[in-house]
Structure 1
Amino acid sequence: MFRPLIIILGVLLSFNAMAEKIVILGAQQALLGSKAAAEFRGKLEKEFSSEQKQLVDLQAQVKQIQEKIKKGAGTQSKEVQDQQRVQFQKAYGEYQRLGQALQQKQRQREDAFLKEMQPKMDAVIRDLIDSEGYDLVLNKQATFYAKPALDITSRVIELLNKK
Structure 2
Amino acid sequence: MKKLIIVIFTLCFINSVQATEVAVVDFRSALLQSNIGQEAAKEPKQKVAEMDARLKKEQEKLEASAKDLKRDELTLSEDEFNKRRQQLAEHQNQVRAMAANMQQQAKALEQQLIQSLTPKGEAALKSLIEERKLELVLNRQLSLYANADADITDELVKRINKDN
Which has the higher Rg, Structure 1 or Structure 2? 2
Return 85-94 or 150-159, whichever deviates more. Answer: 85-94
Structure-2 change in CA distance of 1:147 and 1:49 (3 Å) = closer
Structure-2 change in CA distance of 1:110 and 1:87 (3 Å) = same
Structure 2: distance between partners of 1:44 and 1:108? 10
Mapped pair 1:154 → 2:149? no
* Aligned equivalent of 1:140: 140
Structure 2: distance between partners of 1:41 and 1:70? 43
Q: 2:23 touches 2:138 (CA, 8 Å); kept in 1?
A: yes
* Aligned equivalent of 1:62: 62
* Aligned equivalent of 1:90: 90
* Aligned equivalent of 1:24: 24
**1:27 CA displacement:** 1.8
Structure 1: distance between partners of 2:97 and 2:20? 54
- Number of aligned residue pairs: give it: 149
Structure 2: distance between partners of 1:102 and 1:73? 33
* Aligned equivalent of 2:127: 127
Structure-2 change in CA distance of 1:40 and 1:19 (3 Å) = same
Q: 2:41 touches 2:113 (CA, 8 Å); kept in 1?
A: no
RMSD of aligned residue pairs (Cα, Å): 2.5
Q: 1:31 touches 1:37 (CA, 8 Å); kept in 2?
A: yes
Return 68-77 or 111-120, whichever deviates more. Answer: 68-77
Question: Once the two structures are aligned, what percentage of the paired residues are identical?
Answer: 22
* Aligned equivalent of 1:7: none
Structure 1: distance between partners of 2:23 and 2:64? 55
With normalisation by structure 2, the TM-score equals 0.75
* Unpaired stretches in structure 1, ≥5 consecutive residues: 1-13
Mapped pair 1:46 → 2:13? no
With normalisation by structure 1, the TM-score equals 0.76
